[in-house]
Structure 1
Amino acid sequence: MKKIAFLLFFMVFCVEAQEKDTLSVKNVTASIELYKYYNLKKDTIQIDTSLTIQDEYRYNYLRKDTYGLLPFANEGYLYTQLDFSKKKSVILPQFGFQAKHITYLEADDINYYSVPTPYTDIYFKTVMRQGQSLDALLSVNTKRNLNFTIANKSIRSIGDYYNNLTSSGHFRFSSSYYTLNKKYYLNAHFAGQDIFNQENGGISNLTQFEIENPAFTQRERLDVYFNDASSKLKGNRFFIDHFYKFREVNSLVFKHQFSYENKFYEFIQNTPVARLGVATTQLINNKTRFNALYNKFGVSFLTKKLGELQFFIDQYATNTFYNTSNVFTPIASLPSNLRNTIVTLGGQYEFYRAKWRFVVLAQNGLSSKPTSNFEVTATYKIDQYNAITISGQQTSKIPDNTYVLSQSSYQNFNWYNSFANEKISKLNFEAKTKWLNISGQYSLLTDHLYFYNTQERIDSLMVKPFQYGKTIQYYAVEIAKEIKYKKFALDNRIKFQQVTQEDAILNVPKFIIRNTFYYTNAVFKKAMLLQMGVTCNYFTKYYADDYVPVIGEFFVQKTTKIGDFPLLDFFVNARVKQTRIYLKAEHINALFGKNDYYNAPNYPYRDFKIRFGLEWNFFK
């Protein structure tokens, strides 16, 4: 970390930052509009160095708006998902350990750049205790049609509570290329990620946290469940996406996508604890390995008037495995691996005409394990300020591997199951207007998979996977509106959620609210743009899922509700040329309110903190 910090500060002094509108390098002037990046969906985004309220929302470890996510006490650790509508439906079986994947960068999260001159983006933010969070990116076009980008995001934070250190690294290298005749295009990347967390299992005596005792204001003094447990999620991915088209329009297009990824999740504990049940070894060292190979071949016909019609076939082969095969009672035998080979055949039609955009996708499994996915999206763009989107999706999803197979030195966490596919139907509506933004979702879930603690006690965890054979209906409506008056603004966002079910399986807060009142003004003869304000986040009480680190998953619980407390943050931000400066006092009402704020039944939310950070953009 010290070497990386030194390199970054060296770059700060070596790179000459220019004005916002134009960037000059060796007598060559490049407009800021030419600096762009895009994702696999070909959504192109212009690099923006301005300072808006959205930059304030995105200034966090995930570097995206975390509305609907509640971060745990230590930075980069876990997030409680308040907003169920943001959960993605993937038809292919995943590795599992989903709670640990919130900070893991998937293939869709990698961006590809096009810059006329070398571009550098640096993110820095202080953490809870003894460490820092850093994300640095350097992008260079060696030629107009060839780009190389290297980036690394890392964090180290001891945290306020005992045995809760976070230490992670996310290295990315990406490249994009196209031939000068613009017939062949290539995007490729490598991602190496290492997410390490000490796991304390939460505080074991809630009274120590909730009472006003000065001895426990130093949070490391609070008793926790695990004193020597840790987890690690590590993965490497090689990815290629390329296509060739014979002509610019009215042409055949051949497409290919390839991905190879290997991962492992490891839970280590030097001393077994009774809370997790009977252990068969004195040293707990559970390690689950996972390999995934994906190939997709497609051919499409691209026309100017009728859009693009594509047919494709893909193969997804995975292997989840352990080094040994354990034998426990009452389970007679557990296999040492779980293999999946899934072949699907599909078609997609995209149509763009005037203000309309239609996308239809149909995909169905050909292998012995059936799976299917049908999606329809229609967008009507009235003008640059107003647009309406309606979409629907119906998915039959193969269970993730952690639901099917688990091996552990703790007897309670061993299973080998055969579950039916999860069936998920969604209908979404979104209207973006100059007056307000409104969106809604209706979801119907059948054969929903979940984890549940059969002991129904916080101090005893016997978490097992279950399948809910009855239907679950989920409704959500979200409204967002920003009101501006001169140099003042009030940004509002509210979400209403409702679940209809016979048993309390899917639990969400009914309301999620965020209000930000802020002031923006140019000061010091307009050399600095100043932004200051206060944000209030709130959600109603509900039975939030708890967390078990042995399998890196959240599980359903019906004993303790959390929520119904405000989170007040005061911030002062500034922009000088391409540098954005952030200063925030987080959760200021913790100084005078009750200690009743939790992420999960025994995981407290963050205390009051003052944190500082910077975002630098350099165009050389």
Structure 2
Amino acid sequence: MAPGFDAGFHSYDVYGFNHQNAKFYNTNRPFSELWYLIGAKQEQMINLQHTQNRGEKFNFSFQYRKINSPGFFQNQATNHDNYNVTANYNSQDKRYHLYFSYYLNKINGGENGGLQNNADLKDPEYSDPRLIPVRLGGNNPRLGGLLNTNIPVKSYNQEASILVRQQYDWGHGDTVHVNDTTEYYKFDPVFRVEHTLTYTENTYRYQDAEPDSLYYRTFYNLNIPLNNPDTIRTRHRWRIFSNDISLMQFPMRGNQAHFIRVGAAFEMIKGQFDTSLAVRSFNEVSFTNLRLHGEYRNKTRNQKWDIQAKGDLYPIGENAGDYAVSGRLSSHLNETLGRISLMASNVNREPSYVYRYFGTRNKQIWTNNDLNKENITQIQVRADNKKLKYSLTANYFLYTNYTYFKSFTESAQSSGLFNLLQLVAYKRFDVGGFTFDGDAAFQQIAGTAPVQLPTVWARLRVAYTAKLFKNLNLYTGLEGKYNTPYYADDYSPMLSQFFYQDVLQINNKPEVAAFVHFRIKSLSAYVRGENLNSLVWDNNFVSPLYPANNFGIRVGLRWWFVN
């Protein structure tokens, strides 16, 4: 639900850093964190984070994350490296502010195409799931390790981006005397000029160095020369430069959550594709966009009311006509009734570019230039209550020109109008030392829609919590998850996209895990036994031909300290 240019590759977003979740710190002492996870089949995750001030006005932080897992099945290895650096500077008079954010995500995900035959899961010949034949990558049952990054068939996503934001404020400053010996300088902005430069390079690539032409023709309807199969490779590479200027006014002195912002951004976008065709129109594109944006925010000091209205419009450029408008009103009624919020949003957007073009270096080209703009409306009502420990959310979505993939390589667009109603609830009960908490949702689609969703999904945790031996905080129990049967989307390895299917219904048993969480001062840890259900029933499936993991144990540690 975002207007403007979008490349369309989001299946690995949850594993990467971005500017939206970048953190800026101000610390009086250096602070560090270390996370480590080890799981079944040599799965490992390492996370290192450090931040410290250099003087009173400058701070920097660094974070590195490594995720490596050979997987439970053949050719399922993943190897991710993520880097994030932030810095911020405030001038002595607190009028000038500088923010810097950089991230680099290197995502390598193994693509095995799923099992050749689901029945092999029950075949005694394949007691080890690493021996079950898969569609891509050949017979490759080796496990690998943290330093072994050889992945036969993979999706390679690399994204690097730099953001530099400068702000200069006009307003009122005062010296505040805390006592006879302590004082500090307080500055309340009234008007702000903000300038933001962003440069991003994204590369999305699929590669199979030793493709089996029979498998590609049988499973994906992709013809590869038998005498010279070569490497199957697809690539979308994008370079995006954005230059944004904004003006802000703060009507109420001392309340920076009450402001009016208007601005404009100019974007230059260039894309390159990996094809062997000597046709420039298929190898490279470039275009520009102009985006106008505005925002009004009023969050009262007593936290009773919060009003927000935002708007974005693309008047000219490649995405001319795209827009997004939204409004939110929330209020804290009282401790008994809690907080309630109302939200409405409407987005008109050009479909992501991945729906318009797909090509390989083997001279396979698919294009779809008959796509209209998508329009999505969302209305939400939400109630949160800390005292009674519950939350309720009702979402209503209205879709027009919904764009989707209908096969491994082809996109399509639904011309009809359909809507989705979603009701989500959370509730927690505490009985003595035991805690019961659960989520549940009901989802219903009205109208003809190329979207499949489970009607009901739910999660329930039953746990015992206690404080032992003065410093030991314990939380241990069972967790179960379940959703009703539905036609889960299939997956296209070459595009790294999920696509609509209505042939194979996924009918899973409840998924069960046992856990022990504990914390001792600045050390927290957990042990999880996951997929206990696979010890009793057959493997659940997350998508056609893609079974969930077998039973496995994960152990995680987190240690933080102030130097």
TM-score after normalising by structure 2? 0.87
Q: Tell me how far 1:467 sits from its aligned partner.
A: 1.1
What do residues 156-198 of structure 1 show as CA deviations (whole Å, max 9, x unaligned)?
Answer: 1111111111001001111122223222222211111100122
Alignment RMSD (CA, Å): 2.0
Measured in 2, the distance between the counterparts of 1:126 and 1:144 equals 39
In structure 1, what is the equivalent of residue 396 of structure 2?
A: 442
Q: Superposition pairs for residues 326-337 of structure 1, below 5 Å? A: 326=277, 335-337=282-284
Q: Is the contact made by 1:349 and 1:359 (CA closer than 8 Å) also made in structure 2?
A: yes
Residue 373 (structure 1) aligned to one of 324, 338, 350: 324
- Structure of higher RCO (CA pairs closer than 8 Å, 6+ residues apart): 1
Residue 410 (structure 2) aligned to one of 459, 464, 480: 464
- Give 1 or 2: higher strand fraction: 2
SS at match of 1:519: strand
| 1:569 aligned onto 2:513 | yes
| 1:179 aligned onto 2:91 | yes
| 1:93 aligned onto 2:5 | yes
Q: Tell me how far 1:481 sits from its aligned partner.
A: 0.8
| 1:360 aligned onto 2:306 | no
| 1:502 aligned onto 2:452 | no
State the AA in 2 paired with 1:605.
Answer: A
What do residues 193-222 of structure 1 show as CA deviations (whole Å, max 9, x unaligned)?
Answer: 10012210000111011x2x4432311110
| 1:451 aligned onto 2:405 | yes
Q: Superposition pairs for residues 252-267 of structure 1, below 5 Å? A: 252-267=191-206
SS at match of 2:25: strand
What do residues 321-367 of structure 1 show as CA deviations (whole Å, max 9, x unaligned)?
Answer: 1255627xxxx995222333111222211112341111111222120
Q: Is the contact made by 2:155 and 2:204 (CA closer than 8 Å) also made in structure 1?
A: yes
Measured in 2, the distance between the counterparts of 1:226 and 1:361 equals 46
In structure 2, what is the equivalent of residue 289 of structure 1?
A: 237
State the AA in 2 paired with 1:599.
Answer: V
Measured in 1, the distance between the counterparts of 2:334 and 2:85 equals 37
In structure 2, what is the equivalent of residue 243 of structure 1?
A: 167
Measured in 2, the distance between the counterparts of 1:492 and 1:441 equals 19
SS at match of 1:129: helix
Structure 1 residues 517 and 377: CA distance shift in structure 2, 3 A: same
Q: Tell me how far 1:250 sits from its aligned partner.
A: 6.6
| 1:315 aligned onto 2:266 | yes
In structure 2, what is the equivalent of residue 427 of structure 1?
A: 379
Q: Is the contact made by 2:509 and 2:533 (CA closer than 8 Å) also made in structure 1?
A: no
Structure 1 residues 613 and 392: CA distance shift in structure 2, 3 A: same
Q: Tell me how far 1:375 sits from its aligned partner.
A: 0.9
Measured in 2, the distance between the counterparts of 1:145 and 1:473 equals 51
What do residues 516-550 of structure 1 show as CA deviations (whole Å, max 9, x unaligned)?
Answer: 00001122x22311111000011111111111111
State the AA in 1 paired with 2:506.
Answer: I
Structure 1 gap ranges (5+): 1-88, 454-460
State the AA in 1 paired with 2:445.
Answer: V
Residue 465 (structure 2) aligned to one of 520, 526, 534: 520
Q: Is the contact made by 1:320 and 1:401 (CA closer than 8 Å) also made in structure 2?
A: no
Q: Tell me how far 1:555 sits from its aligned partner.
A: 0.7
TM-score after normalising by structure 1? 0.80
Q: Superposition pairs for residues 535-550 of structure 1, below 5 Å? A: 535-550=479-494
Residue 106 (structure 2) aligned to one of 194, 201, 209: 194
Q: Tell me how far 1:411 sits from its aligned partner.
A: 6.0
Measured in 1, the distance between the counterparts of 2:266 and 2:350 equals 14
State the AA in 2 paired with 1:604.
Answer: P
Structure 2 gap ranges (5+): 138-151, 172-186
In structure 1, what is the equivalent of residue 183 of structure 2?
A: none
Q: Tell me how far 1:451 sits from its aligned partner.
A: 0.4
Identity of aligned residues (%): 20
What do residues 579-605 of structure 1 show as CA deviations (whole Å, max 9, x unaligned)?
Answer: 01110110112101233x101010001
Q: Superposition pairs for residues 34-45 of structure 1, below 5 Å? A: none
Structure 1 residues 115 and 250: CA distance shift in structure 2, 3 A: closer
Q: Is the contact made by 2:67 and 2:81 (CA closer than 8 Å) also made in structure 1?
A: yes
Q: Is the contact made by 2:75 and 2:112 (CA closer than 8 Å) also made in structure 1?
A: yes
In structure 1, what is the equivalent of residue 424 of structure 2?
A: 478
Measured in 1, the distance between the counterparts of 2:274 and 2:477 equals 54
Residue 278 (structure 1) aligned to one of 210, 220, 223: 223
Q: Tell me how far 1:498 sits from its aligned partner.
A: 1.0
Considering only CA atoms, is the larger Rg found in Structure 1 or Structure 2? 2
Q: Is the contact made by 2:514 and 2:528 (CA closer than 8 Å) also made in structure 1?
A: yes
In structure 2, what is the equivalent of residue 155 of structure 1?
A: 67
Measured in 2, the distance between the counterparts of 1:470 and 1:522 equals 57
What do residues 37-60 of structure 1 show as CA deviations (whole Å, max 9, x unaligned)?
Answer: xxxxxxxxxxxxxxxxxxxxxxxx
Q: Which runs of 4+ in 1 moved over 6 A?
A: none
> How many residues matched?
515
Residue 350 (structure 1) aligned to one of 287, 297, 301: 297
Q: Superposition pairs for residues 203-214 of structure 1, below 5 Å? A: 203-209=115-121, 211=122, 213-214=123-124
State the AA in 2 paired with 1:282.
Answer: D
Measured in 1, the distance between the counterparts of 2:418 and 2:18 equals 28
Measured in 2, the distance between the counterparts of 1:95 and 1:107 equals 17
In structure 1, what is the equivalent of residue 145 of structure 2?
A: none
Structure 1 residues 413 and 573: CA distance shift in structure 2, 3 A: farther
Structure 1 residues 339 and 418: CA distance shift in structure 2, 3 A: farther
Residue 504 (structure 2) aligned to one of 535, 541, 560: 560
SS at match of 2:7: coil
Measured in 2, the distance between the counterparts of 1:414 and 1:289 equals 17
Q: Tell me how far 1:284 sits from its aligned partner.
A: 1.0
In structure 2, what is the equivalent of residue 579 of structure 1?
A: 523
State the AA in 2 paired with 1:183.
Answer: R
What do residues 104-125 of structure 1 show as CA deviations (whole Å, max 9, x unaligned)?
Answer: 3222122222222111122111
| 1:233 aligned onto 2:176 | no
In structure 2, what is the equivalent of residue 222 of structure 1?
A: 132
Q: Tell me how far 1:407 sits from its aligned partner.
A: 1.6
| 1:339 aligned onto 2:286 | yes
SS at match of 1:417: coil
Q: Is the contact made by 1:441 and 1:475 (CA closer than 8 Å) also made in structure 2?
A: yes
Q: Tell me how far 1:237 sits from its aligned partner.
A: 0.6
Q: Tell me how far 1:616 sits from its aligned partner.
A: 0.9
